[in-house]
């Protein structure tokens, strides 16, 4: 059985996170964009999810696994992905403002269903920072805008698949102990002369 750790699937994160955040915000999927993608042309509020930092924690773990007769090396490290969620809303009522939508997002991130949805992507919600009010007035009309930084934990995985870079390993070790006589000069029983065999990498 192969015990290699699955590598991060960033393309899946990009497409799946927008859907998760749209549900949490109560918006339609086209209203939420990822990264530098343009904001959707929809009526009402829109949101953008942008990765702004990756934090490294501790020391990376080096694992070597025997796969099909070859020793494969992986490096696995604990990371935190910092996402900035920003919402724009042209609505004037507090209920439909960007502030209310961000608060909805922050609270719903603690749902068990949200935990399970993120876990399916090998992500885990850590915490949320305090929201920032970025409201602007355009053409004499106020458009509320609020952002919040969110921290998601995950494991960064890299596998050394360099051609011809298979690592050497010890397949089998034989250890023999031979004691002819004890301290009194008497022969030692054969049961006390074990042969230790170690197999594997």
Report yes or no on 181 lying in a domain. Answer: no
Is the residue at 177 inside a domain? Answer: no
Q: Could you tell me if residue 183 is inside a domain?
A: no
What is the pLDDT, as a whole number, of residue 195? 58
Residue 166 belongs to some domain of the structure: no
**Would residue 124 count as lying in a domain?**
yes
What is the pTM for the complete model shown?
0.74
CB atoms within 10 A of CB 74: 19
The residues, any chain, with a CB within 8 Å of residue 140's CB and separated by 6 or more, are none
Pairing of strands 32-34, 46-67: parallel
pLDDT for residue 170: 61
Q: At what angle do helices 112-119 and 10-25 cross, to 10 degrees?
A: 170
Residue 110, both tokens = 């603690």
pLDDT value for 41: 75
* CATH number for position 20: 3.30.2000
Task: Give the total number of structural domains in the chain.
Answer: 1
- pLDDT per residue, tens digit, the chain (201 aa), is 445 666 677 888 888 999 999 999 999 989 999 987 776 678 889 999 999 999 999 899 888 887 777 788 889 999 999 999 999 998 778 888 999 999 999 999 999 999 999 999 999 999 999 999 998 876 677 789 999 999 999 998 888 877 666 556 566 666 665 556 666 767 666 655 555 555 554
Q: What's the pLDDT score for residue 167?
A: 57
Residue 36 sits in which domain range? 10-159
Res 121: pLDDT: 92
Residue 1 is assigned to a structural domain of this protein: no
| Tokens 């799946």, residue located | 16
Would residue 175 count as lying in a domain?
no
pLDDT of 93: 80
Residue 60 lies in a domain: yes
């Amino acid at each position: 059985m192969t015990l290699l750790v699955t590598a991060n699937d960033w393309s899946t994160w990009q497409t799946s996170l927008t859907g998760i955040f749209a549900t949490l915000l109560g918006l339609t999927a086209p209203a939420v964009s990822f990264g530098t993608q343009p904001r959707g042309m929809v009526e009402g509020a829109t949101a953008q999810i942008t990765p702004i930092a990756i934090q490294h924690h501790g020391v990376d773990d080096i694992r070597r696994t025997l796969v099909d007769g070859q020793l494969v090396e992986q490096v696995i490290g604990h990371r935190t992905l910092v996402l900035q969620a920003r919402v724009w809303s042209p609505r004037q009522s507090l209920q439909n403002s960007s502030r209310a939508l961000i608060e909805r997002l922050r609270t719903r991130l603690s749902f068990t269903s949200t935990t399970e949805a993120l876990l399916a992507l090998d992500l885990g919600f850590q915490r949320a920072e305090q929201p920032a009010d970025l409201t602007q007035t355009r053409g004499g009309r106020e458009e509320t805008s609020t952002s919040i930084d969110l921290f998601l934990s995950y494991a960064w995985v890299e596998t050394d698949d360099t051609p011809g870079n298979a690592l050497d390993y010890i397949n089998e070790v034989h250890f023999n102990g031979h004691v002819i006589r004890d301290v009194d000069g008497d022969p030692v029983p054969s049961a006390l002369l074990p042969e230790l065999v170690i197999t594997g990498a």
